[in-house]
Every structure is written in C-alpha cells, then in structure tokens.
Amino acid sequence: MTGSCRWLLALHSSTAELGVGLRCLEGSRPDRIATFPLGRALSNRLLSCVEEVLPAEDWPALGRLAVATGPGGFTGTRLTVVLARTLAQQLSLPLDGVSSFLLVARRLALSAPTWLVQELPRRGLVAGLYGPADGGDGMVELRQPRLHADAAALAALDPAPQRPAAVAVAEDVAELLALAHQAHRAGREAPWQPVLPAYPTAPVGV
C-alpha cells in the first residue's frame, strides 16, 4: 500500500464516533477518511479501526501524525491522544495536536469572532472564542475553551455571537489533515510532549 509515499495519519475521537484520516505527504493521491460509530467500544476497537485505514505493517511509512485534542468526550479523546503520542515517540514523528473546536471553526469559515459552545448537563457550558486570523488567512483561537456558567456569563465576557460546537467527524478530520499537511509543508516542528487532551477547562496529563 505504501509504495514511495510517506503518510499523514489523523485521529479524531472527541465524540462517540471515531474518525481516521490518511493523506500522502507527497504526490496527489486522494485522502482516505473513515468513520466508526464506536461509542464505548472505542477502547477495544481503536487499533483495529486504525488498521482498517493503514495496516500496522505500514506504520513505519508514516511521516507525520495529527490528533484532535478536544474538548469532547474525555475517555475517547484521551485514548486517541495516547495512541498518537505513543506512535510519535516510538517512530520519532512530529505530532500536531489541534483543538476540536478550532476544526469546527475552520469548517464553519467564521467571518467574525464567535463563541463555539458545548453544553454540559448540570455543569454549564464549555466555550471557546474563534475568528479569522489577521488578513483573513485561516482561523485562530482567541480564547481557549473553558467552563462557563451559562450563555449570559459568556455574553458578559464578550458579546460575540454564540454557535453550537457541533462536530462533523469526517469533515473535521479533513480539516485536521489540511492543517497538519500545511504544517508539514512549512517545515514546522511538532514535538509530541506538549500534545495533551483538553477537557473541559485545561489540559489533562497523560
């Protein structure tokens, strides 16, 4: 399968659905993106699902890794972050960790600063502020996702519009592939050590 290609592997499990993406870092082969509605079965099926996209014997052909770091389901996000960190360490690969909210913001192509909000029953709202970068080239995180009491508390902090941080797994994996490939082309280093899951107010150690 690998041929002369080095692969970029992307993992996203901030919801009950696992997303796995694969892109050739050189050439023009089409991306491969697969989704798996695993729910609680993620811990048992994570490796087998990744192998459906890229068999383990081809992992030495990996050239870069990317993983969605949340916010989202703590257990699912943690599992893919641990796998990505382990592969990056063992194979000496760069690892891009990207907020799942930033992926949503890129997909929505926000034209102005906007709160992306995820409700946590009986706990409040996880919200981060996102908007276009200076010059309109890309999307940036203006305020990191953290826990807030309610929509009124958000509005008091910043009156920007509020939108649900609704994940679309396949599309967000495509955004994750694009961001990591952009970093690869720019020659940006991406050490695995700082990549940690975020839930819901701050990174959590692995």
Q: What is the DSSP letter of 109?
A: T
Yes or no: say if 120 and 107 are a contact pair by the CB < 8 Å rule.
Answer: no
Verify that 28 and 58 share a domain, yes or no.
yes
Instruction: Note the pLDDT of residue 200.
Output: 63
Opening angle at CA 153, ends 149 and 155, nearest 5: 145
Domain that holds residue 156: 101-164
pLDDT in tens, 94-111: 999 999 999 999 999 999
Q: DSSP string spanning 86-116?
A: HHHHHHT--EEEE-HHHHHHHHHT-SS-EEE
Domain for residue 193, yes or no? no
Is the residue at 192 inside a domain? Answer: no
Nearest one of 90, 86, 71 to 12, comparing CA atoms: 71
Whether residues 118 and 151 fall in one domain: yes
Q: Residue 4 gets which letter from DSSP? A: T
Q: pLDDT, tens digit, for every residue of 108-132? A: 999 999 999 998 877 789 999 999 9
> Does 132 lie in the same domain as 92?
no
Q: What is the CA radius of gyration of the chain?
A: 17
State yes or no: pLDDT of 140 exceeds 70. Answer: yes
47 assigned to some structural domain: yes
pLDDT digits (tens, 9 = 90+) for 50-66: 999 999 999 999 999 99
